[in-house]
Structure 1
Amino acid sequence: MNPIIDMLKKHNISNEQINQLFETLTQNPLAAMSSLGQLGLPQDQLQILMGQVMQNPQIMRDAVDELGLDFSKVEQAKNKLQQ
């Protein structure tokens, strides 16, 4: 299992909330960050999660793929933000 999804599940985040978080990520990465903050993860765990993403961005893509979402939408959203 993807380490991001695994960590969320260990903190009793439901499958529905996880799917919604990653669906938001595919549409608006900044909104996904806000949504992640609202899930109530302990600050130390949130920092670990962010560290994993910073060290290995591929795990985000793997999580999106594992959930059956379209990663190209994440790239499109990032490009919009950079303009």
Structure 2
Amino acid sequence: MNPIIALLKENNISDERINDIFQVLTENPMAAMLTISQLGLPQEQLQQVMGQVMLNPALIKEAVEELGLDFSKVEDAKAQLDKQ
């Protein structure tokens, strides 16, 4: 299991909420960061998730595929961020 998904599940985040987070992440990474920060995770785990999301796109791709979402939207969002 993807370590980001596993950490969220360990903190009793529902499958539906995890799916929603990664859906938002594929469409708007900045909004996803806000959503993740509002989950009520302990600070140490919040930093761990944020670090993984920001620094390891391979984990994001793995999670998106594991959840059955469309990774091309992540690539599009990344391209938009690069333009800014």
Report % sequence identity: 62
Change (3 A) 1:41 1:24: same
Counterpart of 1:60, as a letter, is I
What code does the residue aligned with 1:36 have? I
Deviation at 1:81, TM superposition (A): 2.1
CA contact (8 A) 2:22 2:64 kept: yes
Shift of 1:37: 0.5
Q: In the aligned structure 1, how far is the partner of 2:48 from the partner of 2:31?
A: 20
Q: Which residue of 2 aligns with 1:43?
A: 43
Cα distance in structure 2, aligned partners of 1:43 and 1:11: 12
What TM-score results when the alignment is normalised by the length of structure 2? 0.89
Unpaired runs of 5+ residues, structure 2, are none
> Which consecutive residues of structure 1, in runs of 5 or more, have no partner in the other structure?
none
Q: Which amino acid aligns with 1:67?
A: L
Residue 31 of structure 1 pairs with residue 24 of structure 2:
no
SS of structure 2 residue aligned to 1:68: coil
Normalised by the length of structure 1, the TM-score is: 0.90
Pairs aligned (count): 82
1:27-83 Cα distance to aligned partner (Å, 9 max, x none): 1011000110011111101112233442x4311110000000011101101111222
Describe how 1:1-83 pairs up with structure 2 within 5 A: 1-53=1-53, 54=55, 56-83=56-83
CA distance in 2, matches of 1:49, 1:60: 11
Q: Using the alignment, how far apart are the partners of 2:6 and 2:15 within structure 1?
A: 11
